[in-house]
Structures are given as structure tokens and as C-alpha cells.
Amino acid sequence: MGGVVNKSELVEAIAKSADISKAAAERSLDSTLESITKSLKKSGTVTLVGFGTFYVGKRAARSGRNPRTQAVIKIRAAKVPKFRAGKALKDAVN
């Protein structure tokens, strides 16, 4: 795999690598993503040793500008999902 990978290509790669059906691979991927999402919703973190850590960051409230009217607007504080790559992933990429 190279370049941009979409979900169906990822499912296909998982199925081939794990020697399982595409349907089983898709259920597995969906379940994994759902579990990560649920953990982050509870403001938790998910650490996959060697791969990285998913966590929730906080973005402070700030003011911005409406690009059409140039009027100043208030942007509310928000929680945002973040990912910090692990050493093994960094080493594999470099």
C-alpha cells in the first residue's frame, strides 16, 4: 500500500494479512475504531504500545474573523482528538 489509503483498501489489507474474510476484517476494524471513540468520549486515552497514543486535547476559546464580513466572532472552547506517534511508528516512517 502506498499513498492515500481509504477504508476499503485498509479492510482488504487486513483481510489478506490476517487471512480472514473481508467482512470479518471490516467488523474488526469498525469495532476497534468504535472502542477508541468510546474511550476518547470518556476523556480517556488509548495507548497502542509501539504504534502511538490517542488522547483528547483541549482547544481554548478564542476570537476569529468571519472571512466574508470581517466581523469578529467568538469561537468556543472545544475538546479535540489527537494522536501522538510511538517510537516504533516514527522509526518505521523514517
**Domain boundaries defined on the chain:** 1-42, 43-94
Kindly state the average pLDDT of the residues 72-82: 95
What are the b/e assignments for 26-64, b being 16+ CB within 10 Å? beeeeeeeeebeeebeeeeebeeeeebebbeeeeeeeee
pLDDT score of 32: 95
pLDDT tens string 5-63:
899 999 999 999 999 999 999 999 999 999 999 999 997 899 999 999 999 999 999 99
Which set of grid coordinates corresponds to residue 55?
488522547
Enter the pTM of the model: 0.77
State phi, psi for 59 to the nearest 5 degrees: -105, 125
> Domain 43-94 carries which CATH code?
4.10.520.10
